[in-house]
Amino acid sequence: MIQHYRKVYVKVNSDFDATGYMVPRTITWADGRTFEIEAVRDFRPASTLSGHHGGDCYTIVIHGEERYLFFEKTSGMFSSRFGRWFVEQPMAG
């Protein structure tokens, strides 16, 4: 059975370390729930589980479980938006 996913944009608070790497710290869902990111285990350019979306993939830990958080860079030389964070959720069906 093929699993389908939907892209869900989330608010992420992040820091930049001394070398310039962006480090996500918390995720806030649209309903206001906020979760602390306990660790960032990996970072790499990668496509999503569905393979339909590209971006930077952060393997993060929330409540002791590994999750994937993606950063979608905005194209355009003069855009005031640098990019957006999203996660993939399985679609019911």
Q: Place 83 in a pLDDT band, splitting at 50, 70 and 90.
A: confident
In tens, the pLDDT along 25-64 reads 999 999 999 999 999 999 988 766 555 666 799 999 999 9
Task: Using alpha carbons, list the distances in angstroms from residue 42 to 39, 75, 91.
Answer: 9, 24, 25
Section 67-76 average pLDDT: 84
Long-range contact pairs involving 54-57 (C-beta distance under 8 Å, separation at least 24): 55/83, 55/86
Predicted local distance difference test score (pLDDT) of residue 41: 96
Section 8-14 average pLDDT: 96
Predicted local distance difference test score (pLDDT) of residue 77: 62
